[in-house]
A and B are shown apart, each in its own frame.
Chain A
Amino acid sequence: MTLEPYLLYALAGVGLFAIGLYALIARTHLLRKILALNVMGTGVFLFLIAIAYRSEPVADPVPQAMVLTGIVVSVCATGLALALAHRVQTTTGRMVLAENDESGA
């Protein structure tokens, strides 16, 4: 079996998604969680672009348009998450989510 390029990259996308997911769950620092989300997102985008690459001779533009949308959404998400994380730090003094603070103030 020959490894088609698209398949290699698609699998790499899955790999990135998995690495990001692991870090999202296992890491506690909010900045790392935000980084993890970005890596996860990139994994999905890589998958999409890889499958678009199957089309010959021009890559399928529709997944590319989707990824463009996705990239912009993810930068917005990063901005929002950073602002929120900053607020978490200013109110709790730390940049992690404590285990039990459901009851709150």
Chain B
Amino acid sequence: MTLWDTAPWLLWSIVLPLSAGILTFLFRRAAPWIGIATTLGSVVSVAGLAAQVVHSGPLRYSVGGWGVPLGIDLRADGLSVLMLVMSAVIGVAVSVYAARYFSDADATDERAVQAHQRAYFWPLWMFLLAGLNGLFLAADIFHLYVTLELLGFAAVSLAALAGKRAAVVAAMRYLLVSLSGSLFFLFGVAILYAAYATVDLTALAGKVQPGPLAWSALALMASGLLIKGAVFPLHFWLPPAHANAPTPVSALLSALVVKASFYILLRLWFELFGAVVTPATATFLGLLGAGAILWGSAQALHQPRLKLLVAYSTVAQLGYLMLVFPLAQNAGSALTAWSACVYFVLAHACAKTAMFLAAGNIAHAAGHDRIADLDGITQALPLSVAAFALAGISLIGLPPSGGFIAKWMLLQAAIGSGKWGWATLILVGSLLAAAYVMRVLWHAFTQVEVARPLHRVPRTMEWSALALSLLAVLLGLMAARPVELLRSGAPVSMHAPGQT
């Protein structure tokens, strides 16, 4: 046993960004470097943690040594490791991007604005990362509430960072949504504690019984998470908040923050309320997802602005995640559906980050993001357009991207359990996604004079977008190990015989 094997890696993914939050707040000049170093550090710690989980299965860690029920436990299983990998990898790319983004103004008036944004972006982002990682590792539902708040505060402040009217209004709405969602969640936590005298996920899992208490707790927590996760029809706040934020922030919000709520919902649904949920409720959530896919795509098809299009695409893509609930109803396809949606989260995170970064580059170079007038500028930025296209491939679900593998598994779960309606929906959603992605790419091929960029786009900004979009595509070719890892710590109900 070396130090590498025994080190408490899971702590570092929380302590590092927390400390970095302090340091970036104190030392502004060094903030970008601290930020990049921290995200790299969290990649290392996640790698260490992943090795431990692969080697010896899911981990538990009792903070303060108290253990359940008095203390708070952390836990790391396949799902949380994958989520941590996601936040770490996206984190590195966005940090590298942001390091250039916030120091690239040509005009002096913009320089002052950027200095302000730079000063606050880094500490807020570091706390966001701490909140995310803390959330992915928490095994305690009250602690989940605390991390949700940490995440929410950071996300809202980041969303308002652009300072413009639309951004501020969107951030205000986001804050109200986020706080009320958290309160719903907290009420659910309170009811569960009242009934079962523990807030530990695993301890609760053995105790929760169907009944008014469990139902109301589920209803409260689920609605809180659905509104925070912008699930149709509670998505109204998301597009303006995501589209009007500075580009790296849009990427973080769309790729990571909304996933946090979904992650908790996934945990609760399959681990905590496994005995409580009924097929009808599962179908209801699935129908919300269907609404999200159709409505979000339809909206994306009509948006005049690029970043709004990308944001509505997030609404639509989140709909797919909700399909896990009806698709996992059959014991035979539960594990496939579960793996599908987790892989979907990963693929979407990479693709959406890449897409927002690419869209940001285009908007930066053009000085606007009206889709109708992008012809010349897209042809001046082939790398960013390529990133957008590759990310689009993953969003559409074309092979060999990560999105394809996720949709493959979703379809497999749907067809395997004879649910043709959902299968059709998945395919229709793909075609709609193709339509709105092509709305943008179209402009890269028109016959126009190549425009001179209004602002030069630094190479790091183009490459970080491209790197992530490549990753989104390559995810399709390296799904086997993550999916294998997911079985470590997958809900017990899913280890039914006859699984492939």
CB-based nearest A residue for B70? A62
- A10, A40, A97: which contacts B183 (Cβ < 8 A)? A40
- Contact mask A28-63 → B, CB, 8 Å, 1/0? 001001000100110110011001000000000011
CB distance from B199 to the nearest CB of A (A): 8
Contact B156 A84 (CB under 8 A): yes
- Contact mask B158-179 → A, CB, 8 Å, 1/0? 0010011111111111011001
Contact B175 A104 (CB under 8 A): no
Q: Which 6 A-B pairs have the closest CB atoms?
A: A104-B166, A51-B194, A91-B165, A102-B240, A87-B168, A48-B190
What band does the interface of chain A fall in when counting residues whose beta carbon is under 8 Å from B? 35 or more
- Assuming A73-B149, A80-B153, is B180 touching A24 (CB within 8 A)? yes
Chain A residues, CB < 8 A from B164: 91, 104-105
CB-based nearest A residue for B167? A104
CB distance from B191 to the nearest CB of A (A): 8
Bound CA–CA A94/B194 (angstroms): 42
- B172, B187, B304: which contacts A44 (Cβ < 8 A)? B187
- B157, B172, B180, B244: which contacts A97 (Cβ < 8 A)? B172
Bound CA–CA A101/B173 (angstroms): 11
CB-based nearest B residue for A84? B172
Bound CA–CA A21/B224 (angstroms): 12
Chain B residues, CB < 8 A from A10: 194
Bound CA–CA A70/B338 (angstroms): 33
Q: Does B356 lie at the interface of the complex (its beta carbon under 8 Å from any beta carbon of A)?
A: no
Chain A residues, CB < 8 A from B165: 91-92, 101, 104-105
Bound CA–CA A104/B166 (angstroms): 5
Q: Does A2 lie at the interface of the complex (its beta carbon under 8 Å from any beta carbon of B)?
A: no
Interface residues of A (CB under 8 A from B): 10, 17, 21, 24, 30, 33, 37, 40-41, 43-44, 47-48, 51, 62-63, 66, 69-70, 73, 76-77, 80-81, 84-85, 87-88, 91-92, 97-98, 101-105
Contact B170 A104 (CB under 8 A): yes
CB distance from A44 to the nearest CB of B (A): 5
Q: How many residues does chain B have at the interface if contact means C-beta atoms less than 8 Å apart?
A: 37
Majority secondary structure, A binding face: helix
Chain B residues, CB < 8 A from A105: 164-166, 244
CB-based nearest A residue for B178? A77
CB distance from B302 to the nearest CB of A (A): 11
CB distance from A1 to the nearest CB of B (A): 17
Bound CA–CA A23/B180 (angstroms): 12
Bound CA–CA A30/B156 (angstroms): 16
Interchain Cβ contacts under 8 Å between A and B, 23 examples: A17-B183, A24-B180, A30-B172, A37-B176, A37-B180, A40-B183, A44-B183, A44-B187, A47-B194, A48-B194, A69-B146, A77-B149, A80-B157, A81-B175, A87-B160, A88-B168, A91-B165, A91-B169, A102-B166, A102-B308, A104-B166, A104-B167, A105-B164
Chain B residues, CB < 8 A from A66: 142, 190, 193
Contact B179 A17 (CB under 8 A): no
Chain B residues, CB < 8 A from A84: 156, 160, 168, 171-172, 175
CB distance from B466 to the nearest CB of A (A): 28
For A33, A48, A85, the residue with the greatest tally of chain B CB atoms inside 10 Å of its CB is A48
Q: Does B390 lie at the interface of the complex (its beta carbon under 8 Å from any beta carbon of A)?
A: no
Chain B residues, CB < 8 A from A51: 190, 193-194
CB-based nearest B residue for A21? B180
CB-based nearest A residue for B176? A33
Contact B186 A70 (CB under 8 A): yes
Contact A24 B169 (CB under 8 A): no
CB distance from A54 to the nearest CB of B (A): 8
Q: Does B239 lie at the interface of the complex (its beta carbon under 8 Å from any beta carbon of A)?
A: yes
Chain A residues, CB < 8 A from B156: 80, 84
CB-contacts of B184-212 with A (<8 A): 186-187, 190-191, 193-194
CB-based nearest B residue for A69? B146
